[in-house]
Amino acid sequence: MKLKDDKKVIQIFQSALKLVAKKGLSGVTMGDISREAGIATGTLYVYFKSKDELINALFAACRENSVKVSFKGYNPQAPFKPGFRNIWLNILRYKLQNFEETVFLEQCYHSPFITVDTREKAQQLSAPFYELMERGKKEQLIKNADTGLLLTFMIGTMNELVKQTHYGSITLNRTKINVTFDLCWDALKS
Amino acid sequence: MKLKDDKKVIQIFQSALKLVAKKGLSGVTMGDISREAGIATGTLYVYFKSKDELINALFAACRENSVKVSFKGYNPQAPFKPGFRNIWLNILRYKLQNFEETVFLEQCYHSPFITVDTREKAQQLSAPFYELMERGKKEQLIKNADTGLLLTFMIGTMNELVKQTHYGSITLNRTKINVTFDLCWDALKS
Amino acid sequence: MKLKDDKKVIQIFQSALKLVAKKGLSGVTMGDISREAGIATGTLYVYFKSKDELINALFAACRENSVKVSFKGYNPQAPFKPGFRNIWLNILRYKLQNFEETVFLEQCYHSPFITVDTREKAQQLSAPFYELMERGKKEQLIKNADTGLLLTFMIGTMNELVKQTHYGSITLNRTKINVTFDLCWDALKS
Amino acid sequence: MKLKDDKKVIQIFQSALKLVAKKGLSGVTMGDISREAGIATGTLYVYFKSKDELINALFAACRENSVKVSFKGYNPQAPFKPGFRNIWLNILRYKLQNFEETVFLEQCYHSPFITVDTREKAQQLSAPFYELMERGKKEQLIKNADTGLLLTFMIGTMNELVKQTHYGSITLNRTKINVTFDLCWDALKS
DNA sequence: GATGAATGAGATTTCATTCAT
DNA sequence: TATGAATGAAATCTCATTCAT
């Protein structure tokens, strides 16, 4: 008896990501995805009962993955700034190396595919980031401003940075990354 | 694009923007646009010879408009920081009040609709922003870092801020706007 | 400006009927119908927003038509038996000449296409038949049994008769029709 | 059709009947049937090599069963009318209690599933009914009309009766059944 | 034999575009 | 120019059937 294959889901996700990054969420068809994944179109429907569901599942997976990666190596007992820097670098590295996911998440933001439910679950995943920023504020290293605002600042700059990098108007190197972190830290530090 | 009836073009543009913000670039059809604009589908093709052309024209119009608005009231002879602040506020106000355009521009980024030509023309419109930043660097008010990097910082924050505001996780008021500008300025100032 | 064409609806209906009689409700596709009607498949969707809706509309039209034809030439003031006979013959003639509709109505009976709403509306169209039978009972020409039961007798025979005729195990002629009417009348008369 | 497991064939048949009665012959899939029968889709193909074959086998089984049941308790040596009445009641009871089979047979009539071969074999099973009616005619109890016509009358009324009963416009009880038999007998008796 | 994942042909439906009015 | 019906290619999705386990 053949069993549903977890690898296949990953294949499908990767194909979808690749295509969305290349052609945008519009213009990616189920046929494209199956062709890219090397399976029959009908097989997609064994794993996801509609295009909608596929996109939502992928969205959820990307969000989860991105949060998990961000906190890799983070130790809440260690001093704040190096820990913060580590997370900052994790995020940047993640966004650069998984550019397709970054694009996909952004494209989903205003798409009719993502349901309210999926959106809410994604929001809940942000909790650790809020906690991080609160800790910085408590230790008086970070400005005492609205936490959401501070996070927005931190994330927004990265998104734009990654986008510009990818499209060639900026080329990143170790130095520039350091400069960028300093810009960010200067903004947030109290 | 025949300029027989300017009002109709504006109607079409606004309908398209409204729908893209609501449903994403994918899932907006020519039928939707014409219905929203209160005209017949065939009439769309009197003004634009294809969906591609419509989207590209709208993209160009939005970009142009956004730059024009940004520099309203800017006087290169006046002191830098207030001028910079004015522009920063112009951009933020524009993005907040014209959220649909912001979404549209973002959605277009990875879409197959936007041609290389359109993309390049859009890039050229960024020149005044580069000049602004260069002036700040020359006056030693702004850090001596890569100009693209600095601009990225300025713009990225705003995009994220507007998005979060619109989706309700942040509610902006005068104070918060000031705080955000200060974050930005602290990042950029030398 | 092209206007929606009533003739086209009739064309579509006739094509659908022809195909259902030939191939059964299962196995008739929208593609078949459009091909038979000599129009593009997409055009079907200009007139009916789904296959479901097309089938329901056709069902309603057939039912309505069949009732209308049945009472042609019926005069409630004239004596009962000839009037009854006239209606009986109308129905039989209709079913024979419009065999496709007969088949279609029968096939629809248990199909998932027909909605409760359509079914109820169809039921209401039976009122004149009930009135006819009630009149016969009041004039003491018809047995004083349950009206529904009596009608069932009148209609049931015809359905089976038409089916058998069409499939060749019975060949009808004037005499046989008279005999069948007599069978029916003998059953119902008091 | 391998007879490895008779119970499974019965399960499959019953599932198919149930579903056809609920959703019509169109719209019943092999997947539906297997799910209802509690077996895997692939297993269906162990017992029947195609959907066609399954439907044809079920059709044949239903026809055969219905004839067998009809003549239960019939003794050609006993007087005609009670014997005829017995058969009439057998048929009615069968159709009422096995409504799903009745529906299925009706739906098959115009379907592309039933082959000419199956259809002919079914026709041959009607022979005992012809003989019954011939006997009645010979004994001068039944009208001397075309036998097919007489049978058609008898069967057609029952079909309609059962349908109306099932869909609620008639509720049968012992009295009404007696009345109905009398209607039928009045029609056929010479 | 039993399973259910995999297949791909084909069904339904959508939609950019054309065209007759 | 304006209309919206008509088109047909292409998208989504279904389903009878096969196949690996």
pLDDT along chain B (190 residues), means of 10: 71 95 87 95 94 94 92 94 95 93 86 87 91 96 92 86 82 89 92
- Min Cα distance A3 → chain B (Å) is 34
Residues D72 and D137 reside in one and the same domain: yes
The per-residue pLDDT for A65 is 92
Q: Chains meeting B at 3+ CB pairs closer than 8 A?
A: A
pLDDT tens digits, residue range C34-86?
999 999 999 999 999 999 999 999 999 999 999 999 999 999 999 999 999 99
The per-residue pLDDT for C18 is 94
Residues of A in contact with B169 (CB under 8 A): 123, 148
Number of structural domains found in chain A: 2
Residues D87 and D153 reside in one and the same domain: yes
Please report whether residue C56 resides in a domain.
no
Residues B17 and B93 reside in one and the same domain: no
Taking CB atoms and an 8 Å limit, are C170 and D156 in contact across chains? Answer: no
Q: Which of B30, B49, B68 is the last residue of a domain?
A: B49
The per-residue pLDDT for C171 is 86
Taking CB atoms and an 8 Å limit, are C164 and D152 in contact across chains? Answer: yes
Q: How far is it, in rounded angstroms, from Cα B142 to Cα C2?
A: 64
Q: Which of A152, A178, A190 to mutate to test the interface with B (most CBs of B within 10 A)?
A: A152
Residues C99 and C164 reside in one and the same domain: yes
Taking CB atoms and an 8 Å limit, are B148 and A156 in contact across chains? Answer: no
Window from A21-30, B165-174, C130-139, D65-74 with minimum mean pLDDT: B165-174
Dihedral pair phi/psi, residue A142, rounded to 5°: -110, 145
Q: Is A184 on the interface with B (CB under 8 A)?
A: yes
Residues C68 and C31 reside in one and the same domain: no
Q: How far is it, in rounded angstroms, from Cα A62 to Cα A137?
A: 29
Nucleotides of F under 7 A from a protein CB: 1-21
Q: Which of B137, B152, B185 to mutate to test the interface with A (most CBs of A within 10 A)?
A: B152
Q: Which of C137, C157, C176 to mutate to test the interface with D (most CBs of D within 10 A)?
A: C157
Nucleotides of E under 7 A from a protein CB: 1-21
The per-residue pLDDT for C1 is 65
The per-residue pLDDT for C31 is 96
Beta-carbon contacts below 8 Å between C and D:
144
The per-residue pLDDT for D3 is 52
Q: Report whether D95 contacts D102 (CB < 8 A).
A: yes
The per-residue pLDDT for B2 is 45
Of B25, B148, B169, the CB nearest to A26: B25
Q: Is B115 on the interface with A (CB under 8 A)?
A: no
The per-residue pLDDT for B163 is 85
Q: Give me the CATH number covering residue A125.
A: 1.10.357.10
Q: Is B54 on the interface with A (CB under 8 A)?
A: no
State the average pLDDT over residues D86-107. Answer: 92
The encoded tokens of residue C59 equal 């069902």
Confidence of residue C157 (pLDDT cuts 50, 70, 90): confident
Query: What's the half-sphere exposure (Cβ side, CA atoms, 13 Å) at D125?
Result: 19
CA D12 to chain centre: 18
Q: Which residue is nearest to nucleotide E3 (CA to C1')?
A: A1
The per-residue pLDDT for D53 is 95
Low-confidence spans in chain A with pLDDT less than 50: none
Q: How far is it, in rounded angstroms, from Cα D190 to Cα D188?
A: 6
The per-residue pLDDT for B152 is 86
The per-residue pLDDT for B1 is 43
Taking CB atoms and an 8 Å limit, are C27 and D159 in contact across chains? Answer: no
Residues A116 and A149 reside in one and the same domain: yes
Residues of D in contact with C187 (CB under 8 A): 157, 183-184, 186-187
Please report whether residue C12 resides in a domain.
yes
Q: Which residue is nearest to nucleotide F3 (CA to C1')?
A: C1
Please report whether residue C57 resides in a domain.
no
Residues B12 and B88 reside in one and the same domain: no
Please give the residue range of the domain that contains residue C26: 1-49
- Min Cα distance A78 → chain B (Å) is 25
Residues C28 and C109 reside in one and the same domain: no
- Min Cα distance B164 → chain A (Å) is 8
Q: CA nearest A80: which of A135, A127, A153? A: A135
Residues A12 and A59 reside in one and the same domain: no
pLDDT tens digits, residue range C168-178?
778 888 998 99
Taking CB atoms and an 8 Å limit, are A180 and B149 in contact across chains? Answer: yes
Confidence of residue D2 (pLDDT cuts 50, 70, 90): very low
Taking CB atoms and an 8 Å limit, are A157 and B152 in contact across chains? Answer: yes
Residues D45 and D56 reside in one and the same domain: no
Mean pLDDT of chain C: 91
Residues C96 and C130 reside in one and the same domain: yes
Residues D125 and D70 reside in one and the same domain: yes
Q: How far is it, in rounded angstroms, from Cα C170 to Cα C167?
A: 8
Single-letter code of the amino acid located at B137:
K
- Provide the greatest CA pair distance for chain C: 62
Confidence of residue D144 (pLDDT cuts 50, 70, 90): very high
